[in-house]
Amino acid sequence: METLGLIGFGTGGWGALLVAGAAMTFAVTLGALAVGAVLGTLVATAKLSKSRLARILGDAYTTVFRGVPELLVIYLIYFGGSTGLTALARLFGQEGFWGMPAFVSGALAVGVISGAYQAEVYRGSFLAVGKGELEAARAIGMPVWLRFRRIVAPQVMRFALPGLGYVWQLNLKDSALVSVTGLAELMRTSQMAAGSTHRYFLFYVVGGALYLVLTSLSGRVFDSAEARMAKTFPRGIGRS
């Protein structure tokens, strides 16, 4: 009974805060996915480019951000960002320490990691788009942007969807590490609840279960999106 009260929504219950934490985890991951989509597109373009320098820079990005521990990337962005912000504030005559907002630095850090993985997903998807379709579009005189919008983007999205689902799950779990910067997302809230009630086991189990809810529900969303895509592109496996 006492246990139910602790994880419930009444007075002294942590239920509402845990749900708010889960919402924050979702928001950080969504922000990270958006940041990663922009960075990933840029990096994938660089990796596919004819320019050698662009290819090297693109490879360097994916190597570094897939090879360095997520925790270190989060620390680097949080402390590095704060150092930069403090220096900027000093430039404008402000004193003292200026910290990065934890949400921004968290979404940025996980987003930078996400970008490295998304770049690989987009690169692979672009290579899967039929060369003949691009040639056909060019042959009837479609300009670059129209070609991208009508031919490349829809097909890349379709091929990329399973990979993006994987990246989303990865980001969702990486976002738990943002708790080290003090952001009150699900991991941090579970820690606070565990610490203040001394019911560590209970709250880590509940926190973990909420993560399972997040990962399996969003997994289902990706699955149904894939099914819909398969309907709009009624073709065999891959291109034919």
Partner 1 sequence: MLDLPFLADTMTKLLAAVPTTLALFGLSVSGGAVLAIGLAMMRVSGNPFLDRPARAYIYVFRGSPLLIQMFLLYYGLSQFPAVRHSFAWPVLRDPFACATISLALCTGGYAAEIFRGGILSVPAREVEAARSIGMSGVLLWRRIIAPIALRQALPAYSTEIILMVKSTALASLVTVWEVTGVAQRIIAQTYRSMEVFLCAALIYLVLNFIIARIVALIEYRLSPHLRPRPDTTAARTANAA
Contact residues toward partner 1 (CB under 8 A) are 63-64, 66-72, 75-76, 79-80, 83, 173-174, 176-177, 179-180, 187, 190-191, 194, 198-201, 204-205, 207-209, 211-212, 215-216
Least CB distance to partner 1 at residue 201 (A): 4
Q: How far is the CB of 119 from partner 1 (least distance, A)?
A: 15
CA distance 145 to 235: 25
Select 34 or 71, whichever has its Cβ closest to partner 1: 71
- 55 vs 173, beta carbon nearer partner 1: 173
Give me 207's structure tokens: 């926190």
The least distance separating partner 1 from the CB of residue 75, rounded to whole angstroms, comes to: 6
- CA nearest 77: which of 42, 41, 112? 112
Query: Which residue lies nearer to partner 1 by CB, 72 or 230?
Result: 72
Smallest gap, in angstroms, from Cβ of residue 76 to partner 1? 5
Give the residue with the Cβ less far from partner 1, 139 or 237. Answer: 237
Indicate the residue among 212 and 230 with the shorter CB distance to partner 1.
Answer: 212
DSSP codes of every residue in 193-216: HHHHHT-HHHHHHHHHHHHHHHHH
Q: Whose Cβ is closer to partner 1: residue 6's or residue 187's? A: 187
> Residue 151 Cβ, how far from partner 1 at the closest point, in Å?
31
* Token pair listed for 34: 């958006």
Residue in this structure with the two tokens 């990005």, named with its chain if needed: 61
Q: Give the tokens for residue 98.
A: 């200026």
91 exposure class (CB count in 10 Å sphere: 0-12, 13-18, 19+): exposed
Least gap, CB of 19 to partner 1 (angstroms): 16
Q: How far apart are the first and last CA of the chain?
A: 61
Rg (CA), the chain: 22
